Structure 1
């Protein structure tokens, strides 16, 4: 079977949605799976989601990108550092899901979170990261690395761009020119009333708001075919998800 490069949007503890969309996409061990981060903070399966991903890495070629919620949770795990806003935006559900884990299991999860990558650049010059970057010379020159999982200006910029702007124009953003394509999550597409992956310039946003009322999405980066789970909230009817 031909191998594919598949990119997966923000999971936010929705393991049922992840398993469902993996089945719908007929994912096999031949595929390369690139996860764009935010594995926790949302639905009640945060701990079991991370267990699933750790196991998946033993059977599949996986790339795990760091999301801002992953950093927030790692800070809580290692430093007991949190803030009220994080608790309200899914953090409490994650803490609750980890309450039954042993110290040994939590240590394994800490190793997983500490191993997450800020970004991934493949052999086709396609860039994958959770949020964005600001340096006009590209990600390798980014001084403030938290931008990789917190920045929203990249997506806001391409949303505001003239669709007819030529890449040869002096007004074309320099930071876009370094990469054939850029794949991000972080900013939910429900903000622009979309429920499917969206392209602006050479940037693809895959966050179809599984943490809220949307589905979880897998996209084939070569063909642009995509698969989606049911809206995650329908798989967690007695929960509210991330606000």
Structure 2
């Protein structure tokens, strides 16, 4: 019985199928999805359909990503958001042109049900982006930071490796949880394509929104499986730049 964490999918259903097959996922596995299920590649509605169905066979936890929140607002209000369109939303809007109102409501219900974060019984935190409150997620004043913040990851990246957790200079946010699993900021930004650990943080966003693979990882053994790069699987699409 495994607990597997999955990085940002961004509409790449083909990649999601690949990692499920390569990791040999069974109904006995618990699955934690870190958010950003949509925007980028052309199969955002199909990804949500797949996740809804998967929830009936597996113990699943679905974290809210910023792109999921943007889609929810569009589905509810149908308001144009040019900035969203430039960052993957255009492909999603086009894909929803063939989705009927009943199916859209199911997707709205799914997006409404997403969790801001998950904290397990081993003090491991799962959150899409990060948090800013020095006392932890339960004290965060601005919930949107759970799916927009980049400072937590930037802090871990810039940390002087000679400073230890018990040092007065060590960032308090990095001492609160035994492990933190995030997505949101692709490791491809620093030239990586595999899950990356910095301090207590594991970043599992391996760039599937762009030209990287999608990743699924066993949080206990740290073994991971990846899809082919998304621009290979969707060779006839431009994706996000």
**TM-score bucket of the superposed structures, by smaller chain:** over 0.9
Instruction: Determine whether 1:213 maps to 2:211.
Output: yes
Structure 2's unaligned 5+ residue stretches are none
Q: CA deviation at 1:167?
A: 0.7
Answer whether contact 1:35 1:64 (CA < 8 A) is retained. Answer: yes
Aligned to 1:202: 200
SS in 2 for 1:98: helix
Q: CA deviation at 1:175?
A: 1.3
Answer whether contact 1:209 1:216 (CA < 8 A) is retained. Answer: yes
SS in 2 for 1:227: strand
Answer whether contact 1:32 1:60 (CA < 8 A) is retained. Answer: yes
Q: CA deviation at 1:176?
A: 1.6
Aligned to 2:152: 154
Q: How does 1:65-76 map to 2 (within 5 A)?
A: 65-76=63-74
In 1, the alpha carbon distance for the partners of 2:80 and 2:5 equals 29
Match of 1:178 among 176, 179, 183: 176
SS in 1 for 2:98: coil
Instruction: Output one character per residue of 1:163-193: Cα deviation in whole Å (capped at 9) or x when no partner.
Output: 2211110011111211110000000111100
In 2, the alpha carbon distance for the partners of 1:163 and 1:37 equals 29
Aligned to 1:22: 20
Q: How does 1:48-59 map to 2 (within 5 A)?
A: 48-59=46-57
Aligned to 1:142: 140
TM-score (norm 1): 0.98
Runs of 4+ in 1 over 6 A off after TM superposition: none
Q: CA deviation at 1:223?
A: 0.5
SS in 1 for 2:143: coil
Instruction: Output one character per residue of 1:77-117: Cα deviation in whole Å (capped at 9) or x when no partner.
Output: 11123421110111010011111111011000000000000
Q: CA deviation at 1:215?
A: 0.2
RMSD of equivalent CA atoms: 0.7
In 1, the alpha carbon distance for the partners of 2:27 and 2:181 equals 22
In 2, the alpha carbon distance for the partners of 1:70 and 1:199 equals 25
In 2, the alpha carbon distance for the partners of 1:97 and 1:51 equals 13
Instruction: Output one character per residue of 1:123-181: Cα deviation in whole Å (capped at 9) or x when no partner.
Output: 11100000000000000000011000000000000000012211110011111211110
Answer whether contact 1:41 1:69 (CA < 8 A) is retained. Answer: yes
In 2, the alpha carbon distance for the partners of 1:234 and 1:79 equals 34
SS in 1 for 2:167: coil
Structure 1's unaligned 5+ residue stretches are none
TM-score (norm 2): 0.99
In 1, the alpha carbon distance for the partners of 2:80 and 2:67 equals 11
